[in-house]
Amino acid sequence: MPADPRLILASASPRRRELLARLGYPFEVVVAGVTEFEDSDADPRHMVAHNAALKAEWVSARHPDALVLGADTTVFIDNLVLNKPRDLAEAHGMLMRLSGRTHTVFTGLSVRRADTGLRRDGGESSEVTFKSLDQAGIENYLSKVETLDKAGGYSVQDQTDLIIAGYRGSFTNIMGLPLEATKQILTDCGLSL
Give catalytic residue positions. 72
Alpha helices in the chain (DSSP H): 14-22, 44-62, 88-98, 135-144, 160-163, 171-175, 179-188
CA separation for the pair 137, 55 (Å, rounded): 36
Residue type at 134 in one-letter notation? D
CA separation for the pair 157, 176 (Å, rounded): 11
Residues facing 122 on adjacent strands: 109
Longest dimension (CA), the chain: 60
**What b/e sequence results for 95-114 when a residue is b if at least 16 CB atoms lie within 10 Å of its CB, and e otherwise?**
bebbeeeebbbbbbbbbbbb
- The one-character DSSP state at 151 is G
Coil/strand/helix, residue 171: helix
- Exposed, middle or buried: residue 118 (CB in 10 Å: 0-12, 13-18, 19+)? middle
